[in-house]
Amino acid sequence: MKKAGLIGVGLLGSALAKRLTEAGFEVHGFDTNPEALQNLSDDGGLDGGSSADVIRNCDQLMLSLPTSDVVTHFVDQHRDEFREGQILLDTTTGDPRHAVLVEQSLAELGVRYLEATVAGSSMQVRTGNVALFLGGDSQIVEKAAPLISAITSKSFHLGPVGTASRFKLVHNLLIGLNRAVLAEGLAFAEALGFDAGETLQILKQTPAASGVMETKGQRMVEQNYEPQARLSQHLKDVRLILSSAELAGSKIPLSEIHESLLETCQQLGFGDSDNSAVIEAYRNSSSQVD
């Protein structure tokens, strides 16, 4: 059986593990959260024991970690465990500059690094209805093809390391603003006396229809914020987007407003909720959005 190591078995990581096990991989995972490891076992994966053990036991590795800083710390911490010829796919939505530094650090050890950022929620990963943005050498993309195809049939090789992280920020800007627009529209409809559920069903049949209506609309209507992708994580992404835009000299005023909306939601206690909870920035009468 093919083996794959997975570091980070949270919402996204557990979905990746499910896809890999269904494709015939023996998944050795590690997470600091015992509940996440139990979920991994329930989905057919194996508790790898420790992150060091996972690295030692697997030639193909995947990272599903929350930030670039965590990835950098992980690589620095485990330099003695990595070995020449290993392939590491990094699904983290992070700073493109950090990805380049991680690649350089791993290259010194003979480890091949590939960005594989994910366009889609954990639930969409479980169904294979996602896209992967790949950044790295084309030969590494070819060698990692079995892992990539186990996750999705839709992937885009955008260039060297750094390009996938940059493109993921473009994607997340658009999808995040789409969610915010839907939230504003539904809250506006409620303020005008319309039922949000009925409004959503009508709008789905008009030129205003969008993909986020299908994935997040009913959640907003029902206030069902069981997380598929946490709001706090998207706030982190928006801050990365704003930082990258400043470096590039690009003006993105809607994203500045979006950051304020997400900060309001986090202050209201929705940071660990699904990102569809952005609508609560509009619904909460005491919230103030600049």
264-279 pLDDT, tens digit each: 999 999 999 999 999 9
Amino acid identity, position 14: S
Structure confidence by residue, pLDDT tens digits, 21-80:
999 999 999 999 999 998 898 888 999 999 999 999 999 999 999 999 999 999 999 999
Strands of the sheet with 60-63, listed across from one edge: 46-47, 25-30, 2-7, 60-63, 87-90, 112-119, 131-135, 155-159
Architecture of domain 166-283: Orthogonal Bundle (1.10)
pLDDT of residue 255: 98
39 SS3 class? helix
The Cα-based distances of 280 to 132, 227, 257, 273 in angstroms read 30, 15, 15, 11
pLDDT digit of tens for each residue in the chain (290 aa)?
699 999 999 999 999 999 999 999 999 999 999 999 988 988 889 999 999 999 999 999 999 999 999 999 999 999 999 999 999 999 999 999 999 999 999 999 999 999 999 998 999 999 999 999 999 999 999 999 999 999 999 999 999 999 999 999 999 999 999 999 999 999 999 999 999 999 999 999 999 999 999 999 999 999 999 999 999 999 999 999 999 999 999 999 999 999 999 999 999 999 999 999 999 999 986 444 44
Q: For residues 52 and 32, is the Cβ–Cβ distance under 8 A? A: no
DSSP state of 274: B
CATH number of 2-160: 3.40.50.720
72 SS3 class? helix
Residues in the chain: 290
Structure tokens at 136: 């790295």
- In angstroms, rounded to a whole number, what is the distance separating the alpha carbons of residues 159 and 135? 5
pLDDT of residue 125: 94
The Cα-based distances of 240 to 50, 88, 107, 124 in angstroms read 30, 23, 25, 23
Neighbours of 33 (CB within 10 A): 11
Listed in order, the ranges of the chain carrying CATH 1.10.1040.10 are 166-283
pLDDT of residue 14: 92
Q: Which residues contact 176 (CB under 8 A, 6 or more apart)?
A: 234, 237, 238, 255, 258, 275
* Cα angle, residue 280 at apex, residues 220 and 67 outer, rounded to 5°: 90
Listed in order, the ranges of the chain carrying CATH 3.40.50.720 are 2-160
| Strand duo 46-47 + 60-63: pairing | unpaired
The beta strand positions in the chain, using DSSP E, are 2-7, 25-30, 46-47, 60-63, 87-90, 112-119, 131-135, 155-159
70 SS3 class? helix
Structure tokens at 72: 């950098």
